[in-house]
Amino acid sequence: MRDPRSPDLERFPELHSRWDRRTFIKGAAAGTALVAFGGALYRLAGDDLTRAARAETRTDGRPRLPPGQRVIRALRNMGGDEGPGDVRSFRLRVHGAVKTPFELDYAALLKLPQTEQASDVHCVTGWSRLGAQFKGVQVALLAEKAGVKGDVRHVIFEAAHGYTTNVPFAEATAPNVLATYRMDGKPFAIENGAPVRALVPDLYFWKSAKWLTGVRFVVRDEPGYWEVRGYHNHASPWTEERYG
């Protein structure tokens, strides 16, 4: 017999997820001393995900979860001066030491060959978001289209309000590095870099510049906003290159 306090889930199946979540929260509260109701449950779920990730290995032999990281379920808002976030005003300059610099609006970016991939991302503050599905255009394709000159050694990702960050050319043109505009099938929220951000998943997440405005190819390295403020110039999560 159906509990009269519960909704009729056979007639209204769309309520399943909400009722299951409510039931889980009530059950957890009954058996757990909660310091902060929502926060404690969030940490419980994150701890389970973190333990599972620590047991996994990447195809390159490195542990899936870098040292000092914990898994969370959604990107956190890490601040920064937001860009316009408007696809109508979006422009991406591809320039620097290239033969044919060019500029793309949002529609032109979407007309280029697209890549969809699952990626893990790791923030220098210690959180990781695993297995998110990203869609965008490979930076390697932008480099090819621009005709990068042979002496280029670095890529500078340019963003709103003059923000920059630097990535070695070989790593910036790896197949999993994108100018991305979708995560898990949805546009980015403005605080997470809408309409387009960089994705450099094998480096700490500050290298994945939000509110992307330019991809500049250079011969000499140019440390960016955080790099000149004491953060590591390379930023590998697996060797904990947090600070210079």
The arithmetic mean of pLDDT across residues 18-46, rounded, is: 42
Specify if 143 maps to a domain: yes
pTM of the model: 0.82
21 has pLDDT over 80:
no
Give the structural domain span for 152: 91-229
* CA dist., res. 148 & res. 173, Å (int): 11
Specify if 221 maps to a domain: yes
Structure tokens at 216: 């500049």
* CA dist., res. 169 & res. 88, Å (int): 30
Specify if 225 maps to a domain: yes
* CA dist., res. 103 & res. 213, Å (int): 10
Is residue 54 located within the same domain as residue 116? no
Structure tokens at 220: 């000499």
* CA dist., res. 174 & res. 182, Å (int): 19
For residue range 109-122, what is the model confidence (pLDDT) as tens digits? 999 999 999 999 99
Show Cβ contacts of residue 168 under 8 Å, excluding neighbours closer than 6 positions: 153, 154, 155, 234
29 has pLDDT over 60:
no
Asked if residue 237 has a cis previous peptide bond (ω within 30° of 0), the answer is no
* CA dist., res. 232 & res. 44, Å (int): 31
| Count of structural domains, the chain | 2
- Express as a percent the part of the chain with pLDDT over 70: 82
Largest CA distance in the chain: 74
* CA dist., res. 189 & res. 177, Å (int): 20
Is residue 43 located within the same domain as residue 146? no
Is residue 216 located within the same domain as residue 113? yes
